[in-house]
Amino acid sequence: MATHNYPKYNNVVVDENGYILDVETPGTSSPNPDTIAKKVAYTGIAVHSPEILKFLPSGVSHATEAWIAAAKAGHKVQTLDFTGCYWNDIGTPASYASAIIELMKAEGTVRISEIYSFINSYPCLILTHYSKSIRASQV
């Protein structure tokens, strides 16, 4: 699971080796300021073993519920820290537009026609869209 340090969204509690211990407010990206632990933000990018599906509850659920259940069952759910790479939540049209404008400003790019090649020129660029919930049957 790709993570990074982004205090506004840091709600994934990890140990010193980057294994998930817990997720605060599962299904959201809201950290609990009362928790004192190493926390990181989930970027929305992950590679899962098919076994993780056993930990999804039936009906509507969120991947974070499966991570917590797997970790509590003794499985190691590993994170990979991408802190230092550009990341921005693009889950709404406004946040997507903001991310594009932010990148254009950083590069000095002003023409819309250059956006596609500009984004592709950053190998460390992570832009994600959060899906609020998934159904186990859709996975």
First to last CA, the chain: 17
pTM of the model: 0.64
List the domain boundaries for the chain: 2-84+131-138, 87-128
pLDDT score recorded for residue 3? 92
Q: What is the DSSP letter of 85?
A: B
The two structure tokens encoding residue 131 = 């899906």
Check residues 37 and 119 and name the one with the higher pLDDT: 37
Residue 27 contacts residue 133 (beta carbons within 8 Å): yes
pLDDT tens digits for range 72-118: 999 999 999 999 887 777 878 888 888 888 877 777 755 555 555 65
Q: What is the DSSP letter of 121?
A: T
The band of 138, judged by pLDDT with boundaries at 50, 70 and 90, is very low
A 10 A CB-CB count for 21 gives 16
Give ∠ CA 98-101-103 in degrees, rounded to 5.
110
pLDDT score recorded for residue 19? 92
Listed in order, strand segments (DSSP E) in the chain are 2-4, 12-14, 20-23, 39-42, 60-61, 80-81, 87-89, 126-128, 134-135
pLDDT tens digits for range 107-128: 775 555 555 565 556 555 544 4
